[in-house]
Structure 1
Amino acid sequence: MADKSNQPLFSEFPPVSTQAWMDKITADLKGADFEKRLVWRTNEGFSVRPFYRQEDLEPLKYLDSLPGEFPFVRGTKTCNKWFVRQDIVVKDAAAANAKALVLLTKGVDSLGFVFEDEALVTAENIKTLLKNILSNDVELNFKTRHGNKKLLQLVTEEFKAQNRKTDEVKGSVDFDPIGNLTIGGKICETIEKSMDYVAEIVTEGKKLPLFQVVNVNGRYFGNAGSSIVQELAFSLSVGNEYLSQLTSRGISANDAAKTIRFNLGVGSNYFMEIAKLRAGRMLWAAIVNEYKPAGREACKMVVHCETSEFNKTVFDPYVNMLRTQTEAMSASIGGCHSLTVQPFDNVFRDSNETGERIARNQQLLLKEESYFDKIVDPSAGSYYIETLTDSIATEAWKLFLAVEEKGGYLSALKEGFIQAQIKESASQKSKALASRREVLLGTNQYPNTSEVMASAIDAAKISKQTPAAGDVEPIRLMRGAEEFEALRLATEKASKRPKVFMLTYGNLAMRLARSQFSGNFFGCAGYEIVDNLGFATVEAGVDAAINAKADIVVLCSSDEEYADAAPVAFEKLGNNAILVVAGAPACTDDLKAKGIEHFINVKSNVLETLQGFNSLLKI
C-alpha cells in the first residue's frame, strides 16, 4: 500500500477555479449585482472582495522575505516580543519612582515618564525617578513639553552615574515639533530654528544609541478622524520631513533614521490595523532606502502603538474594554515594538488602579495566555491580510507622493492640504455615526437609558478646545461620540427627564419591532422610555400616554394601519405631547398634510433628529 503521509492535504479533491466560485456566487445571488451586494468599498479608498485566492498574491513582490529581512513587512525582528508600556505623570519624583517599581512587578517592561511641569526636570528629580530601575530589559520613555535637550542630557548623565552601559539602554524621548505644530497651530520658533534644535537633540541622542529621540505622533491623525490610509501616509510624510531636515543639516541617513520612532494609534478595524502596521514598515523601508543608508538596519521602522481615543465613549464605558482588546490584538499581531493600552475610563477621568490594572492585563492575556509573542507575523500568507497590506500600501503611497508634490509635509500643512483631507474623513465618519451606518455600542445604538454619567466625568478631560489658527490651521482632536454624549449630558442636567411613550397598536410583529427601534432611537438622548405590549384601540393608547404624562408619544404599528390610526392619535393627543410616527409609510405625505410632522425610521439622521427634539423640549 502506498505511503500517503507526505501527500498534499485533500489531494483527492479536484481544485476549484475562481470562475467556478464566481459562477456559484452569481447563481446564489439570483440576479443581484455582485459588486453592489458583496464588494465592500472601504473608507480607505479601495474595495474589498468577499473572497481571495492564492492567485491574488502572485503580483506581490515581498512575499519571499522573512521576518527581520528587508522590506520588513513581516517584522523588524525574528520574534514577536513587544514591550508592555504604561505612562506615569510625574508630579512628585519619589511617588512616580515608587509607582514605577510596583509596575515592574506587574508585567510592565516599558515605562513612560510624562513631565507636564517643566520645573520638575532637574538632576535631583531624574536621579530620584530612576532609582533602582536598573535593568536594560526595561524600556524608559520620557516626555516633556519643551525641555527635551535638557531632559535628555540629565537622563544620560544619570545613566552614567549609575555606571550603566549607555549603548544598551533602550527608550525614547517624545520630541515632535511638527506634531505639536499640527495640533497646536503654532511653533515656538521658526521652522528653521526648530529643525536646528531637532538636529541638536539627535546629536545629543547619539550618546544613547538605542534611544529614539524624535517621535512621529501619527496617532494625532487617527484621533482627529483620519482614515487608516491618511494616518499612515501623513505619518510617513512627517518622518520623511524629519529625515530631509536632518540630513540637510549634516546628520547621516543612518543616524537620522535610527533616531525616529513612530507613535501610531490603533482603532477597531481589526484586520485593517494589522495590515496598516505591515504596510507601514514596507513603505518606511522604501523611503529610508532612498537616502542611501549604510546597510539595511536603518530602514527598520520602530512603532509604538496606542489604543485609539476616537472610538472611545463616556457612556457604557466598559465597552471600551472590548474595543481596546481587539486593538491590542491588532497591534501585537501586526508586529508593534511597544504598546500602550489606555484604561477604559481614560477619556473622561484620571483612571484609578483598577482601570490601569485591567489595561495592563489585557496585554498580559495576549502574551501569557494566548502566546501572541511566540509567533512572528501570524497573519503571513493570509490571502485577505496580504491583499489588505498591499492595498493600504498602494493608497498610502499615492497620498504620500501627493504630499511630496506639494513640497513635503510642512508645505502641505501650511497650504491646508493635510487639514482638508482629515476634515473630509472626520466628516464622513461623523455622518456615518449620526445615521448609525457605523455603530458605537451603547452610544448611538442600544444605549443603557438608565445610566447616569455626569457625576463621574472630569470636565477638563472632555472639554478639549482646538487651538486657534496661528502659523497653520490646527487639526482638531475629537471623539466620534462627542455630540451624542452632549445630548445625554444635557438630558441629565435638565430639570425634567423627557418621557417617551410607545403607543403600540395593531399588527403584532410590526408594533413590537418598531417600539424596539424607537426605544433605541430616543434612548440615545437619555430619554425615559415607556414601552407597552399593545393597546386594543388608538384612543386607549393616547389616554394611557396622557396619564403617564408623556412628552413624546411614538405610534408603533404597520404602514397599512397608519393611514387611519395616526390622524386619530394626533387629534386626540392635541397639545399634550409630541406625536411621532415610527416608520416611513406610503401615506407619509397625507399624514403631513394633516399636521403630523415627526417621523423616524432607519434612514433618519439620529443625531440631528434628537437635537431637534431637545430643542423642542427646551433642553
Structure 2
Amino acid sequence: MATDKERLLSEFPAISTQEWKDKIVADLKGADFDRKLVWRTNEGFNVNPFYRREDIEGLSTPKVMPGEYPYVRSTRMDNEWLVRQDITVHDAGEANTKALDILNKGVTSLGFKLQRDQVNKETLSVLLKGIMPEAIELNFSCCISVASQLAGELAAYFASTGADVKQCKGSINFDPFKKQLVKGISNPQWADAAARILEAIRPLPGYRVLTVNALSLNNAGAYIYQELGYALAIGAELIDKLTERGFSIEELTSRIKFVFGVGSNYFMELAKFRAARWLWAEIIGAYGDQYKGEAAKIHMQAVTSTWNKTIYDAHVNLLRTQTEAMSASLGGVDSITVQPFDVTYQESDSFSERIARNQQLLLKEECHFDKVIDPAAGSYYVEHLTNSIADQAWKLFLSVEEEGGFAVAAEAGEVQKAVNASNAKRHAAVAARKEIFLGTNQFPNFTETAAQKLPAAAPAAHSCGCGTATIEALNFDRGASEFEALRLATERSGKDVKVFMLTIGNLAMRLARSQFSSNFFACAGYKVQDNLGFATVQEGVDAALAAGASIVVLCSSDDEYAEFAPEAYKYLAGRAEFVVAGAPACMDDLKAVGIEHFINVKSNVLETLRQFNHKLGIN
C-alpha cells in the first residue's frame, strides 16, 4: 500500500489560456474564434466560451462569505425561500377556502388580490378566517389609491383578533411608480402617498409596503441590466425623498421590498440576484458604516416572467418556469412565485396552479436547493457574469441619478421609452429567430389550435379615477405575441393552407432544406407535407397540385437550382405560390425569370409569413 500522498494530476503540466485557445482555434478549422464562440449579450458585454481562475483575479465578490456585507452571496445563513401563490379574490369566502387548502399543500406565502370595495374589515375577517398571521406570510395587492386604507384596516383587524403583531410578516403591494410606468399617468404626489402608507402601517413592524416593482420592467421586455439598474434607482429614490419627510433609513429599508421578474437566461438571471444584493448594500452602506448591517440587506421576491410565455405549445412554459425558479432559488431570493403555465390565456385552474406549486416543492424536497447557500460562488463564469451585470446596471443607475433621479425620468417617460425600445429590439430578434421560442417561432406543432382557449372578449380596463394618460407607458406585448397573432389569423380564417415540399436532387441538401422549410411555414399554422423525393420536377409539381398545395417549396442543392427552379416555376404556372429554399448563387438569375420568394436562415420569418398570409387573403 502506498504511504505517500500524491496530488491528483500533479504529474500533468499546467496549460495556459493561450494554449487552450490555440487548440480551440485549430478545432474550428479556420473559423473566426470571436465570431463563432464569443457571445455579445444584450447587456453590453461579451461572454467567452470558457473561463479560468485568472478571469476572476482582482474581483472582490469571490472573497465575500455568506451573511457578510455587501451580501453578494447571501443576506442570511440559509437558503430557505417562501413558496408563494396569489389568489384573485372574487368572493372572500371562496378565497379563504382556497387559501386554507393550499396552505396544506406546500404554500408558505399567500398573496391576495383585492378589489377597491373589498378593502374593509368585514372582507378581511372572512378572507383570513382560520389563518394565523404569525405563522404565514400574508401579502396583499389592491389599487394604490386605497393602499393606505388597507394598511390601517389590516392593522386594526390583527389587533382585534389578538394577534402578536410583532410576529406578523407580509407586504402590501404599494408601487409608487405604477401610474407612470404602467398607465402613463403623471403622479407627482407619489411621495405623499408613500408617506401616508408608512404612517398607517407602523402598528405592523414586519410588513413591507414600499414595492420596487422591477417585475413590470421585466414583463415589458427590459434587458437584465435595465431591470436591475432601474430597480436600484427606484429604491434610491424612495430613500432620498422619504428621508426628507423625516423617516429614518432603518425604517425605510425595513419597509422596502424588491419584486423582480426572472426569465429563462439561466446563469444571467442567477447572477442578477447576486448583483442586486451587492449593489443595494453598496447604496445603503454609502450613508454610513452604521448602515452596513441589517439595513443594507435587500428583500427580494422573484416572479416568473410573462414576457417569454406563449399561448401555443403552452406546456413549454413549464420548462421555462422551471429553469426560472432554479435561477431564483440558487440566486438566494426570499420568496418565489411561479406563474402557472396557462397564465397567458386564462385565469389559471387548480391543475396548473398545483403544477406551479410543485415546481418549487420539487426543488426543495428532491433537489435540496434550500440546503445550500449560493452554490454558484467561485464559479469563474458566474462571478464574471455577476460583476459584468453589476457594472452595466450601476452605470445605468448613475446615469438616472445624474439626470435627477427615477421620478424625474419616469415623469418624462424616459424609462418607459428605453424599455420599450428594448422590447422592440427583442421582438425584432424573435421575428428573425435570433431569440427562440420553442413551439412558436421554432419547431411549432402546426396541428395545434388555440383560438378556443382564448376568452371571447378582452377584460374590462381598470378605471378608478386615477387620471388621464399623458406620458408614454410600458408596452407589455409578449415576445411571442406577433407570431401568435399571425397564427391565430390563419386559424380563424378557416382556410386550409397546405405547403408542399418538392424535394429533388442531392439527398442531404433536399432533406436539410425540407426540414428547415417545414419548420418555417409551420410557424404560421400552415399544414406541411414533406416528401422523400421526386425523380422529376414535373412529377413533384403534379403531386403538389394533386395534394391541393397553396405553396410549393423547391428543396434541392444550390448547384441544381439553376436547372430545377426555372423548370418548376414555369410548369407550376402560377397555380400555387412558388418558393426556393436557400440563397443560391444563381438567385439573381432566378429572379430574372420571375421567381420572387426565397427563404433561408437570414430571412425575417415573421415578415415573410405575413406576406404569405396577405397573398393568401388571410388578415
TM-score range, shorter chain: over 0.9
Alpha-carbon distance in structure 2 between the residues aligned to 1:417 and 1:474 = 10
The 2-side partners of 1:365 and 1:128 are apart by: 32
Which of 323, 348, 352 aligns to 2:349? It is 352
User: Shift in Å at residue 247 of structure 1?
Assistant: 0.8
- Residue 418 of structure 1 corresponds to 415
Counterpart among 448, 462, 469 of residue 445 in structure 2: 448
Give 2:267's aligned amino acid.
F
Partner Cα distance (1:2, 1:469) in 2: 82
Size of the aligned set, in residue pairs, is 613
Structure 1 window deviating more from structure 2 (132-141 vs 287-296): it is: 287-296
DSSP 3-state at the match of 2:125: helix
Distance across 2 between alignment mates of 1:166 and 1:413? 36
Which of residues 221, 243, 249 is equivalent to 1:247? Answer: 243
Q: Which amino acid aligns with 1:38?
A: L
1:184 and 1:168 map into 2 onto residues whose CA distance is 36
Instruction: Give the alignment of 1:76-115 within 5 angstroms.
Output: 76-115=75-114
Where 1:529 maps in the other structure, the secondary structure is strand
Letter aligned with residue 367 of structure 2: S
* Residue from 292, 309, 313 that aligns with 1:312: 309
Residue 165 of structure 2 aligns to a residue whose secondary structure is: coil
Partner of 1:579: 578
Is 1:477 paired with 2:476?
yes
CA distance in 2, matches of 1:410, 1:251: 19
1:112 aligned counterpart, secondary structure: strand
Alignment-derived partner of residue 72 in structure 2: 73
Letter in 2 for 1:119: D
Residues 184 and 8 of structure 1: CA distance in aligned 2, closer, same or farther (over 3 Å): farther
TM alignment of 1:382-421, pairs within 5 A: 382-421=379-418
Q: CA deviation at 1:22?
A: 3.1
1:156-175 equivalences under 5 Å are 156-175=155-174
Of 294, 318, 321, the match for 1:297:
294
Question: What is the deviation of 1:3?
Answer: 5.2
The residue number in structure 2 matching 1:605 is 604
Aligned mates of 1:285, 1:3 — CA distance in 2: 50
Unaligned runs of 5+ in 1: none
Q: Give the distance between the partners of 1:463 and 1:484, measured in 2 at CA.
A: 25
Report the alpha carbon displacement of residue 18 of structure 1 after superposing the two structures with TM: 2.6
Query: Could you list the per-position Cα deviations for residues 388-446 of structure 1 after superposition, in whole angstroms to 9, with x for gaps in the alignment?
Result: 10110011000111111110112222334323322332222112111112210000011
Q: Which moved more, 1:337-346 or 1:64-73?
A: 64-73
1:28 aligns with 2:24: no
Counterpart of 1:550, as a letter, is A
Q: How big is the shift at 1:59?
A: 1.3
CA pair 164-492 structure 1, distance change in 2 beyond 3 A: same
Q: Which runs of 5+ in 2 are unaligned?
A: none
Q: Distance in 2 between matches of 1:175 and 1:10?
A: 57
Q: What TM-score, normalized to structure 2?
A: 0.96
Structure-2 change in CA distance of 1:45 and 1:90 (3 Å)? same
> Deviation digits for residues 549-581 of structure 1, max 9, x if unmatched?
211111111111111211111111113111111
- Any idea what the Cα deviations from partners look like across 1:201-240, whole Å, max 9, x if unmatched? 1122222222110111101111111110011001111111
Deviations 1:286-317 (A, max 9, x none): 11122336452111111100001111000000
Give the aligned residue type for 1:196.
Answer: D
Deviation digits for residues 22-57 of structure 1 (CA, Å, limit 9, x no counterpart): 343344344443322221111110011111122222
Instruction: Deviation per CA, 1:77-107: give whole Å up to 9, x if none.
Output: 1000000000001111111111000010000
Work out the CA distance in 2 between the residues paired with 1:273 and 1:122: 39
User: Within 5 A, what are the aligned runs for 1:138-537?
Assistant: 138-145=136-143, 146-187=145-186, 190-191=187-188, 193-292=189-288, 294=291, 296-458=293-455, 470-537=469-536
In 2, the alpha carbon distance for the partners of 1:579 and 1:469 equals 51
Identity %: 54
2:48 equivalent to 1:49: yes
Deviates more, 1:422-431 or 1:368-377: 422-431
- Distance apart, 1:9 and its partner CA: 4.2
CA contact (8 A) 1:347 1:461 kept: no
Deviation at 1:180, TM superposition (A): 3.1
Q: How far is the alpha carbon of 1:11 from its aligned partner?
A: 3.6
Contact 1:448 1:523 in 2 (8 A): yes
Specify the SS of the correspondent of 1:174: strand
- Is the CA contact 2:499–2:528 (under 8 Å) kept in the aligned structure 1? yes
1:132 aligned to 127, 130, 133, which one?
130
> 2:133–2:163: 8 Å Cα contact kept in structure 1?
no
Distance 1:460 1:73 in 2: 46
In structure 2, relative to structure 1, the CA distance for the partners of 1:318 and 1:461 (3 Å cut) is farther
Question: Is contact 2:417-2:472 (8 Å) kept?
Answer: no
Q: State the distance in 1 between where 2:429 and 2:459 align.
A: 22
Instruction: Give CA deviations for 1:472-515 in whole Å, capped at 9, x if unaligned.
Output: 21111121000000111001111312111111111121111111
- Residues 468 and 474 of structure 1 are in contact (CA less than 8 Å); yes or no, is this contact kept in structure 2? no
Structure 2 distance, partners of 1:27, 1:564, is 38
Distance 2:205 2:461 in 1: 36
Output the CA distance in 2 between the equivalents of 1:468 and 1:303: 30
* Per-residue deviation, 1:20: 3.1
Q: Tell me, yes or no, if the aligned pair for 2:133 and 2:169 is still in contact at 8 Å.
A: no
Distance, in Å, in 2 between the alignment partners of 1:603 and 1:62 is 41
Per-residue displacement from partner, 1:245-265 (whole Å, max 9, x unpaired)?
A: 111111111111211101100
Shift in alpha-carbon separation, 1:540–1:380, aligned structure 2, 3 A: same
1:469 to partner: Cα distance: 8.0
- Range 286-295 or range 479-488, more displaced: 286-295
Matches of 1:20 and 1:573 in 2, distance apart? 57
Deviates more, 1:541-550 or 1:442-451: 541-550
Q: CA separation of 1:26/1:507 partners in 2, compared to 1, >3 Å: closer, same or farther?
A: closer
Q: Which moved more, 1:160-169 or 1:274-283?
A: 160-169
- Offset of 1:15 from its aligned partner? 2.9
C-alpha RMSD of matched pairs (Å): 1.9
Aligned mates of 1:291, 1:203 — CA distance in 2: 23
Kindly provide the CA deviation profile for residues 488-546 of structure 1, in whole angstroms up to 9, marking residues without a partner as x: 10011113121111111111211111111111100000011122111111111111112
Structure-2 residue corresponding to 1:13: 12
Are the aligned partners of 2:83 and 2:360 in contact in 1 as well (CA < 8 Å)? yes
Q: Which moved more, 1:419-428 or 1:517-526?
A: 419-428
Distance 2:233 2:324 in 1: 24
CA contact (8 A) 2:108 2:136 kept: yes
Give runs of aligned pairs for residues 540-551 of structure 1, distance below 5 A.
540-551=539-550
8 Å CA contact retained: 2:82, 2:109: yes
Amino acid at match of 1:371: H
Q: 1:433 to 1:86 in 2, by over 3 A?
A: same
For 1:258, the aligned partner's letter is S
Alignment partners' CA distance in 2, 1:463 and 1:39 = 47
Distance in structure 2 (CA, Å) of the matches to 1:464 and 1:431: 28
